[in-house]
Every structure is written in C-alpha cells, then in structure tokens.
Amino acid sequence: MSGYIMWLRSFVGHKPLLQCGTGVIVENEKGEILLIKRTDNGCWGYAGGSVELGEKVEDTACRELLEETGLIAETLELFSVFSGEDTRYTYPNGDEVHNIDIVYICRKFSGTPNPDKIEASDARFFSIDNIPDKISPPLIVPLKKYIEMRKNNSL
C-alpha cells in the first residue's frame, strides 16, 4: 500500500476510496505475459500499484514493476484506462477502493522475474491460452480485454 493511501486510510478507515493506479502487462519474446501471485489475496495479476502524490503515472508503472518483479521497463505503451464498477474491490483487510487503473504494455524490459515476497509470492510467464483461473478481481476485465485483442491481432 502506498504511503499516500496509508495516510488517507488513517482518516477514513475501510471506507471507499477513489484510487488511481497503474498496471503493467509484460510480454516476452514468445508472446507470453508475466503474472504475479499476490500475497494479499492469493490471486494472480499483473504488477501495479497506487500513484503517489506528485508522481507521474509512467514512473509509478516502472517503480511498481521493479518493486514487485525485479524487472526494469525499457519501454511502456499505453494499453487502456479502466474504471467504474468493474474496478471496485474490497481487499481482504476490509479496505474498499474504486480504482482508476491506467494499464501499460511492456515488451522491452531487462532482468529476470524475481518476486519481492512482500506483495508477490511468485512471478512467471503464461501463454494467453493458459492463464490461471484465479485472477485478482479488479484485473479480470483488463486481462480479458488484453487477451481478446491479442487473439484478434489488434495489439
């Protein structure tokens, strides 16, 4: 959880927050995508997190990717922005959020996936035809859209 979000939570407790975050769908040379197994809910998803005050969203995406996977993004391509009821989520600790998720695709990166063990217990590449069933709820719609577009050769 970001410092800014922790600070807000000190005032509002578990009440709903509007939260701006970024996500990064990393694609390797085989066309597989990197998913991490989250430690907070045990589900799979792409790396990402909340934007800090004054931080550029692209910088957030790079920072979160590095923190959670050990990968360094060399290029980012804007994929899409997601918001609304599909991104509403209540974390296992009771914190409720309405996310605005700015999702990037990263096809050029350096490093080897190495989960941080704090936010991610595992990190591995998956074929888009073999994605795990247990996806983190607010990431289901973005991943479905990404997979659909890839299968239609729209990306």
- The alpha carbon dihedral of 100, 88, 147, 72 has a sign of positive
Q: Which domains does the chain have, with CATH numbers?
A: 3-151 (3.90.79.10)
The pLDDT of residue 53: 94
pLDDT above 80 (res 1): no
Q: pTM for the complete prediction?
A: 0.95
Average pLDDT of the residues of the chain:
96
- Tens digits of residue pLDDT in 37-76: 999 999 999 999 999 999 999 999 999 999 999 999 999 9
For residue 59, give Cα distances in angstroms to 40, 66, 102, 125, 129.
23, 11, 12, 23, 30
Give the DSSP H/E element, type plus range, for residue 59.
helix 57-69
